[in-house]
Amino acid sequence: MLTKKYAIQQTEENWIDWFLANGEKSFRGKQVLEWFYIKQTFNPEHFTNLPKQIREKLQNDFDWGLPIIDTILPSSDESEKILLKLHDGLFAECVLMPSENRVTLCVSSQVGCRMACTFCQTGKMGLTRNLTTGEILTQVVIANKRLIERNILNRSVTNIVFMGMGEPLDNYDNVVGACKALIDPKLFGLSKHKVTVSTSGLLPQIEQLGKDLPVALAISLHTADNEQRSQMMPINKKYSLEQMKQVLLNYPVQTRHGITFEYVMIQGVNDSLQHAKKLVKFLHGLKAKVNLIPMNPHPGAANMVATDFEQMRIFQKYLADRSIPAPVRYSRGQDVSAACGQLAAKRKDEINLPPRTVALARRREYLAEKVKQ
**What pLDDT digit, counting tens, does each position of 153-182 carry?**
778 999 999 999 999 999 999 999 999 999
C-alpha gyration radius of the chain:
21
Which region among 4-8, 103-107, 289-293, 335-339 has the lowest average model confidence (pLDDT)? 335-339
pLDDT at 298 over 80: no
Could you tell me the end-to-end alpha-carbon distance of the chain, in angstroms, rounded to an integer? 14
pLDDT (tens digit per residue) in 79-123 = 999 999 998 899 999 999 999 899 999 999 999 999 999 888 888
Q: Are 162 and 109 in contact (CB under 8 A)?
A: yes
Residues present in the chain in total: 373
pLDDT band at residue 373 under the 50/70/90 scheme? low
Just list the catalytic residues: 93, 340
Q: What pLDDT, on the 0 to 100 scale, is given for residue 271?
A: 97
**Distance between CA atoms of residues 176 and 170, nearest Å:** 11
* Side chain identity, residue 206: I
Would you state the pLDDT for residue 125? 87
Mean per-residue pLDDT, 223-227: 97
Question: Could you tell me which residue, 122 or 206, shows the higher pLDDT?
Answer: 206
Where residue 293 falls (left for φ over 0; alpha for ψ -120 to 50; beta otherwise) is beta
CATH for the 5-63 domain, from 1.10.357.10, 1.10.10.10, 3.90.110.10, 1.10.150.530 = 1.10.150.530
Report the alpha-carbon distance of residue 94 to residue 91 in Å, rounded.
10
Instruction: Determine the number of helices (DSSP H) and then strands (DSSP E) in the chain.
Output: 12, 13
Residue whose C-alpha is closest to residue 217's, from 281, 169, 283, 285 = 169
Question: What percentage of the chain reaches a pLDDT higher than 70?
Answer: 98
Torsion, CA 251, CA 139, CA 335, CA 302, rounded to 10: -50
Tell me what pLDDT residue 357 has. Answer: 81
Alpha carbons 216 and 198: distance in angstroms, whole number: 9
Is the model more confident about 290 or about 365? 290
Candidates 303, 297, 298, 301; CA nearest to 350 is: 298
Average pLDDT of the chain, as a whole number: 92
**Nearest CA among 139, 132, 141, 135 for reference residue 172:** 132
pLDDT number for residue 348 = 86
The dihedral built from the CA positions of residue 165, 168, 174 and 180, taken in this order, carries a sign that is: positive
The predicted structure's pLDDT at residue 314: 97
pLDDT band at 344 (very low <50, low <70, confident <90, very high): confident
What local confidence, expressed as pLDDT, does residue 1 receive? 42
% of the chain surpassing 90 pLDDT: 75
**pTM (2 decimals)?**
0.93
Q: How confident is the model at residue 342 (pLDDT cuts 50, 70, 90)?
A: confident
- Over range 130-134, report the average pLDDT: 94
Distance CA 359, CA 128 (A): 10
In the chain, which residues fall in CATH 3.20.20.70? 68-363
pLDDT at 2 over 60: no
CA distance 291 to 239: 22
C-alpha span between 140 and 65 (Å, rounded): 16
pLDDT attached to residue 300: 67
Condensed to tens digits (0 to 9), the pLDDT of residues 9-53 reads 898 899 999 999 999 999 999 999 999 998 999 999 999 999 999
**Rounded distance, CA 266 to CA 306, Å?**
5
How far, in Å, are 127, 152, 349 from residue 246 at the CA level?
A: 29, 44, 45
pLDDT digits (tens, 9 = 90+) for 226-248: 999 999 999 999 999 999 999 99
Least confident segment among 49-58, 70-79, 252-261, 352-361: 352-361
pLDDT reading at 210 higher than 90 = yes
Distance from C-alpha of 125 to C-alpha of 352, rounded to nearest angstrom: 15
- Distance from C-alpha of 342 to C-alpha of 334, rounded to nearest angstrom: 8
pLDDT of residue 350: 86
Architecture of the domain made up of 68-363: Alpha-Beta Barrel (3.20)
Residues 311 and 280 sit within 8 Å (Cβ to Cβ): no
Q: What is the rounded distance in angstroms from the CA atom of residue 271 to the CA atom of residue 320?
A: 15
Residue 330: predicted pLDDT: 85
Q: Return residue ranges of the chain for CATH 1.10.150.530.
A: 5-63
Please tell me the distance from the alpha carbon of residue 51 to that of residue 227, in angstroms, as a whole number.
Answer: 62
pLDDT of residue 116: 92
Spell out the residues 6+ positions from residue 356 whose beta carbon is closer than 8 angstroms to its own: 124, 125, 300
Q: Is the pLDDT of residue 137 over 80?
A: yes
